[in-house]
Structure 1
Amino acid sequence: MDGGTRPSLSAAVAVLVLVSTAVVAATSVNVTTLAFDDGYAPLFGKGNLVRSADGRSVSLLLDRYSGSGFISSDMYLHGLFSASIKLPSDYTAGVVVAFYTSNGDVFEKSHDELDFEFLGNVRGKEWRVQTNVYGNGSTSRGREERYYLPFDPTADFHRYSILWTADNIIFYVDDTPIREVRRSEAMGGDYPSKPMSLYATIWDASNWATSGGRYKVNYKYAPFVSSFADLTLLGCRLDPIQQVATTRSGCAAAVAEIAATGLAVMTPEKRRAMRAFRRQYMSYSVCYDRVRYPAPFPECDIVETEKERFGETGRLRFRRQRRRVRRGGRVAVVADSNRQPQM
């Protein structure tokens, strides 16, 4: 880190932050949203957390002095955790934006966690998103999956949702499920089972995030700005130690509210959409990684055609590379005819 007195945010950047949080892509996920102060609090880097004028959206900044983050004011046993997010653009190698649930601050050695991690990249390469599931401190058994996205996540807002029930976990991008983990007896304590808080952060992960740490954060492009809107928290608010609900109605009303969204039910149409997304955009799955895990996890749904494409490492060796071309004054994304090795 460079020394010296930290400069204040320029007026131009402040305007960019507040304007960017005001425009949100519409999705078909119909849920009630919260003002920031009604459900969240700053976590760290408070000077790099900028609220919108109406208090319903927030931007997190990373500069050479600090990252930033926020946390839900309550802990939840099961729930729907959702936000519309716009990621930083340009050169973002080493930058990680995370949207996740965790109880590591309370259960240090037996924590649970559900992750969306957005991994920045060098100019011209796409952001990647990674999901992960940890239960009861099972950090040695990471359940990572990694994907590219069918859109530019820096150009507009898109909704990312984590649905966690007693029976299943579903990760959504807009209204498309991209991953489901179904609870089974074989999973045991690996299935998250304790109350968790919702976190959102932006931070410097130069040592691993881009090509295994080959490309670092370049603060010439700072501040890196990630904006969050349509903030949603549905679930049973629970005291983490006594494991009792903090509301008189208990958990029944919260369970009913989550069920009413329909997001926990995997219809045939949703399952087809999920398989199509995974077939086209998934670049790594722990379910096919025989190097790390000779036997697949019990919740893995092995698809033979996927197994052939991912080989023994779980990594897709080649994918169709998208490139940007200018057409009539606008930039379009098209597929190259050549297949390029994945970074």
Structure 2
Amino acid sequence: MSEFNTTAFQPSLFILTGLRRLAGSRLWLGLLLSLMYIITMVGNCTVIHLVRKERSLQEPQYLFLSMLAWADIVLSVSTLLSVLKVYILGLYEIAFDSCLTQMFFIHTSSSVGSGILLAMAFNHFVAISKPLQYTTILTSSRVTRMGLAALLRAVALMTPLPILLKRLPFCKGRTLSYSYCLHPNVMKLACGQVRINILYGLVLVLFSFGVDSLLIAISYVLIFQAVLGIASREGQMKALNTCLSHIFTVFIYYGPLLAITVMHRISIRSSPVAHAVLGNVYLFMPPMLNPIVYSLKTKQIRTALRKSCKIQRS
């Protein structure tokens, strides 16, 4: 309606929900999430430290892993304050502008992570299909440019999100489904001309996460074709083993992301608790598991970690 004053209908704050519908859940969830934050920060900071210090890890796949760790740290830090306020202090309010800022960093770091996963898939493809040209194709400068491209794309795509929401009036309540702010969740509380927000959100999903996941799938089709061209069975298994950590990371990253996107856009009557649980899985599990998976599955990282621990003890 044209007579609406957008500023007048913007709430000064939103109410975060999380899983407070589960009776008696706040304390133990607060302790669990605090532990997950600690594991996430320690794990990703350790990966960054090892890649930076160890010459044996100054290779494209580990540089990409370091970039992914940085994206996971930004994602975790951007939600730390609001999540712990909800589950530790029982404070459920977040200012309108703080919510939009948090939303921007969550979606931007998620998009950066998606772009880095695509770059890692390309790295595996080159390493397996063109091993003799690997060092000439994936030079350090090219790796840096690929990481920078993922960052610039994410910032360019996500910057309009808070701007488009800022122009809208909000007349459908102030309660959000999570303990942090996501664009689809905030947008559902808006009224007025929201069609452009809906269309732009769909464009973001398709041209960021959708394109990345499609290109990752294509990369693995080409990787499997290259693996079948390896003469020995042992060589085939060794080549596939180098991809296992990345494949697992892709599944734990895109699985919850796809589910939460579908739930927001299709399953209108889904349980609020299901929304909150899936939202927490999407936010906390990939950043926490990524460094653990790579540490367990990558011999070079385990070796560097043991070496670093021996130096610290001495």
Q: Same fold by TM-score, threshold 0.5 exceeded?
A: no
RCO greater where, 1 or 2, for CA within 8 Å and sep 6 or more? 2
Larger strand fraction of residues: 1
Q: Which structure has the bigger radius of gyration?
A: 2
Structure-2-length-normalised TM-score: 0.24
The structure that is helix-richer by fraction is 2
Report the TM-score when normalising by structure 1.
Answer: 0.23
